[in-house]
Amino acid sequence: MKMSALDLCEIFNVDRRTITKWLSSDPPVPSTLKNKVREFDCPAVMKWHSERAARKAIVDADRAIPSNVSAIRLRYEEAQARLMELELAVREGKMVTLEAHSVAVVEVCNRLRAALINIPSNYALPLERAGLSAADAEQVLLEIADSITAALRGTADEMEADDRNSQADTTDFTMRTGAEKCV
């Protein structure tokens, strides 16, 4: 699921400056830049964050005084468990990677596009048989195809608006709900 930097701030309960630091960290938080807008893939960010926490726990364990080792080891194990939960959710089909989702959406869009493009050629002959001239039949079918295309675009816009609204309504941004939001 693509997310903005603001969404990440809410999910991880951090300041915008923290996201900026994550982008310049080594390794940086996974993201893409589209039209000058930074986008983040939630499962990839959750995995990156868990791995980062695990690395930090190891470094902290190396520096820790003996009384802190068990607490640090526990943090490390918790980070590893969160990482395994994400990987398991993907394997069980409870969570889909952005790449797999994108491939499926592109396939559906390509099929719809092909169907719309073929409307005039598939239905012109039956309309001509019904008494319309070839030019009139083609014009009617082009109008139908344009109308369907506009309706699909409107539906897509509504779905994007609904998705943005549902994300804005979310108020509990613990680490666990952040992982659930990726699903």
Tens of pLDDT along 12-49?
Answer: 888 999 989 988 988 888 888 888 888 888 888 888 88
Q: What pLDDT shows up at residue 81?
A: 93
Q: What pLDDT shows up at residue 21?
A: 92
Tokens (6 digits) for 78: 């918790």
Q: What pLDDT shows up at residue 119?
A: 77
- The CA-atom distances, in angstroms, between 82 and each of 78, 141, 143, 183 are 6, 54, 52, 14
50 in Cβ contact with 18 (< 8 Å): no
Q: Which residue has the tokens 């960010």?
A: 45
Single-letter code of the amino acid located at 122: N
Q: What pLDDT shows up at residue 66?
A: 59
137 in Cβ contact with 127 (< 8 Å): yes
Domain coordinates in residue numbering, the chain: 2-182
35 in Cβ contact with 4 (< 8 Å): no
Q: Residues 104-161: pLDDT tens digits?
A: 888 888 888 888 777 777 777 887 788 888 888 888 888 888 888 787 777 777 777 7
Q: For 127-155, give one letter per residue: b (16+ CB within 10 A) or e.
A: beeeebeeeebbeebeeebeeeeeeeeee
Write out the H or E segment, with its range, that includes residue 69: helix 69-91
Does residue 128 or residue 51 have the better pLDDT? 51
Q: What pLDDT shows up at residue 175?
A: 43
28 in Cβ contact with 21 (< 8 Å): no
Q: What pLDDT shows up at residue 65?
A: 61
Is pLDDT of 1 > 90? no
Q: What percent of the chain has pLDDT over 90?
A: 5
